[in-house]
Amino acid sequence: MMEQPLSFSAEAGLAEGSGSKPGEAERLLPPEAPRELGHYRLVRPLGHGGFAEVYLGEHRYLGTAVAIKLVRACLEPAILQRFCAEARLAARLEHPHIVRIFDFVLLEEQGLAFLVMEYAPGGTLRQRHPRGSRLHPATILLYLQQIGAALDYAHRQRCIHCDIKPENMLIGRDGSLLLSDFGIASLAGQSQRDCPQAEAIAGTLAYMAPEQLAGQPEFASDQYALGVVVYEWLCGECPFRGSPAEVLAQHVQAPLPSLRQRVPTLPPALAAVVERALAKQPEARFATVLEFVQAYEQALGQALRPRLRPRSPSRLAQGQGERPTRRAVMVGMTSLAASGLLGGGLTWLAFSSSQLHPSRPALPDCPLPLSQPTGQPLEAPVQMTPTRPVPQKHQGQRHASSSFFPQTGPSAASRSSGPARL
């Protein structure tokens, strides 16, 4: 028989902490449910587990909302014993991502026992992500970090949860996750072969490790169950399916179905991390749950890190660069056009100045400007070899031509009255 998940959602239009009317509680509660338990008034049912019923309760004087887990002690002494063990075990655990236990009351006269614990109005992760949902690996990492921290703390307290699944991951008031339902949790070294709630344990068979199925849970059993949850979130289904007997046999003997065959786009390093957490032998998994979370985070970071395209070795040997992009070509052409316009403007400016002031004498010993007109059209400027100007004659003195570069035109002798002097 499949165990019903514990629902901690705040639907039905009853606002948390608003204080429901007694008439509303009468209509919402089943006839067999008590209306009050100690200082708490029951408002409505939230769900039921393997051996208990869960109600939304309200403190009669403080008006605070709580979750009340109720078990009828008169049903079976073994159930009551396990319920008391859960209360003692959960009360020892104080962690930001573990549901807090406020009170435990045993009413022997009425044959009832109930556990008062923190109410999570956001529901469960199963309600947020129904079966068949596929989550982004980054979203899974956020969940892993919180549940992994809670499990690591519980393991350091020598506590094995033994029932990791999305139904037991609650969403608190601030949106953070809370690990709940330590109903079948055990201390390290205890055996579950004689567990009176075999049917309830069979309800989470899809998440159970091989050694837990053999009645010998270990810390690594919680890691295995968490790995099944991650596997399910990545591809939308658990690794093993079928009848309870078939699923049990597959957990123990069948190889794990390849995660990348179901999700071909999944990075190989990420799939390898999840598959290691689902190893058949506990010693083949990660040493701790935190190592599993850290390995997942590292693999995800490598997959999301932008990768540079390597250059071809042949192109590196030939000294060829990367092909320029269209944007680079356009920028280069625009720069060349701007340079041409600027050079043409300067040439036109120099030409205009010489036309406006034709009689302006040149400064002595000053070279000609680079934009000196050449008589050629401006559309096709030619490159000239700059020369020193010929000094002016003063007081009848005659000077020889002194060219800075060798003359390429008529010789200097043709421009003087006397023979050229070497």
Residue 6 has pLDDT above 50, yes or no: no
Q: Is pLDDT at 155 greater than 90 in this prediction?
A: yes
Mean pLDDT of all residues in 156-172: 93
Q: In the prediction, which pLDDT does 329 show?
A: 67
Taking residues 82-103, report their average pLDDT.
85
Alpha-carbon separation of residue 188 from 87, 91, 160, 161, 220 (angstroms): 17, 17, 6, 10, 11
In this prediction, residue 271 has a pLDDT band, given cuts at 50, 70 and 90, of very high
pLDDT of residue 187: 57
Residue in the structure block whose two tokens are 């591809």? 235
Q: In this predicted model, what pLDDT tens digit does every residue of 41-56 receive, in sequence order?
A: 889 888 876 667 888 9
- Secondary structure letter of residue 101 according to DSSP: E
> Does residue 194 register a pLDDT over 50?
no
CATH superfamily entry for domain 1-119: Phosphorylase Kinase; domain 1 (3.30.200.20)
Looking at the predicted structure, is the pLDDT value of residue 4 above 50?
Answer: no
Q: Is the pLDDT of residue 3 over 50?
A: no
Structure-token match 């004689």, residue found:
194
pLDDT over 90 (residue 84): no
What residues pair up with 187 in beta bridges, in sequence order? Answer: 159
Q: Quick one: pLDDT at residue 365? A: 43
Q: What angle do CA 22, 33, 205 make, to 5 degrees?
A: 130
pLDDT band at 107 (very low <50, low <70, confident <90, very high): confident
Between 40 and 398, the higher pLDDT residue: 40
User: Higher model confidence: residue 108 or residue 384?
Assistant: 108
Does residue 181 carry a catalytic annotation?
no
* End-to-end CA separation in angstroms for the chain: 122
pLDDT higher than threshold 90 for residue 282:
yes
Query: Structural domain boundaries of the chain?
Result: 1-119, 122-191+198-305
Q: Which segment of 24-38, 91-105, 243-257, 403-417 scores lowest on mean pLDDT?
A: 403-417
User: What gap in Å lies between CA 369 and CA 194, rounded to an integer?
Assistant: 107
Query: Are 1-119 and 122-191+198-305 in the same CATH fold?
Result: no
- If one compares 242 and 412, the residue with the highest pLDDT of the two is 242
- Look at residues 186, 212, 8, 169 and name the one whose alpha carbon lies nearest to residue 90: 186
Residue with tokens 């997942």: 296
Place 247 in a pLDDT band, splitting at 50, 70 and 90: very high
For 379-386, the CB contacts below 8 A with 24+ separation are 381/343, 381/347
Q: What percent of the chain has pLDDT over 90?
A: 41
Does residue 286 surpass a pLDDT of 60?
yes
Which superfamily is assigned to 122-191+198-305 in CATH?
A: Transferase(Phosphotransferase) domain 1 (1.10.510.10)
Name the active-site residue from 163, 174, 181, 365. Answer: 163
For β-strands 112-117 and 169-171, DSSP reports them as unpaired
Q: 395: exposed, middle or buried (C-beta count within 10 Å: 0-12, 13-18, 19+)?
A: exposed
Residue 38's pLDDT is what?
A: 81
Rounded distance between C-alpha atoms, residue 217 and residue 393, angstroms: 115
- SS3 of residue 389 by DSSP: coil
Q: Tell me which residue of 71, 93, 97, 68 sits closest to 84, measured CA to CA.
A: 71
- The sign of the CA dihedral 84, 86, 87, 93 is positive
Is the CB of residue 55 less than 8 Å from the CB of residue 88? Answer: no
Tell me what pLDDT residue 36 has: 82
Distances (CA, A) of 57 to 35, 327, 347, 375, 382: 10, 66, 92, 103, 97
Q: How many Cβ atoms sit within 10 Å of the Cβ of residue 219?
A: 21
pTM for this model (two decimals): 0.65
Q: How do the residues of the chain divide into helix, strand and coil, expressed in percent and rounded to 5?
A: 40, 15, 50
Mean pLDDT of the chain: 74
